[in-house]
Structure 1
């Protein structure tokens, strides 16, 4: 068996240390998250939260939209809603935020459920 050079062991040890420390930071942050992180209430507050919240909201809604589209393709189903190609993910986030604002009685529901219902209502397939 060939000996592993010390420089490679040092590099591997450094990577392991970085992974462990990153995981502990993530765990600390995750433990401080509220219980209702998947609710409309949480998403509404996050999406209203300045430029950082706006960016997170756009990324969240883009991920949901792409996930819904991929699921329809994978299951060989027709799409549940038909967002026009020229509608940006920023606009999709705006529509989602408006729905959360306009219907506070629904905000206790999972944000993904509110998002899906909003997209089906706003972008019906014809």
Structure 2
């Protein structure tokens, strides 16, 4: 009897071909986020949750004045507006989607909502990382 219970438990833990059992790729990479949240079928709760997390964590702007910040979001703009800007940036820039989703988000916000003296963000061709230029008036 104990062996039957163990077999039943093991059978319940075995992976199946159902969609509920499929492993989701991390949304932290730009290509993965794009494929799962912009281009392909969407897991809305995961995509919205991830987006809200990066949108609510502007660590590069924390405690900075508009002259020092990387981007200045318009007052009253909704998550949907920010998400639309971000998704358009991803669609328009496939050549850089290999970097992190967070860096892509910062680049999208910086390009669309620059502050008065925001530095420009770009990809360093030598390292593939995020490059922050010296601030200059826009």
Scaled by the length of structure 1, the TM-score of the pair is 0.60
Match of 2:57 among 67, 75, 83: 67
Shift of 1:32: 2.9
More strand by share: 2
The structure 1 segments of at least 4 consecutive aligned residues displaced by more than 4 Å after TM superposition are none
Match of 1:113 among 75, 88, 103: 103
**Number of corresponding residues:** 93
Scaled by the length of structure 2, the TM-score of the pair is 0.55
Greater relative CO, 1 or 2 (CA 8 Å, sep 6+): 1
Stretches of structure 1 that go unaligned for 5 or more consecutive residues are 1-23
> How far does the alpha carbon of each residue in 1:31-83 deviate from its partner, in whole angstroms, 9 at most, with x for none?
9343x642111111221345643x543332322122115x633xx33332111
> How far does the alpha carbon of each residue in 1:8-40 deviate from its partner, in whole angstroms, 9 at most, with x for none?
xxxxxxxxxxxxxxxx9xxxx9x9343x64211
Match of 1:32 among 23, 40, 51: 23
More helix by share: 1
Stretches of structure 2 that go unaligned for 5 or more consecutive residues are 1-12, 14-19, 117-138
- RMSD across aligned C-alpha pairs, in angstroms? 2.7
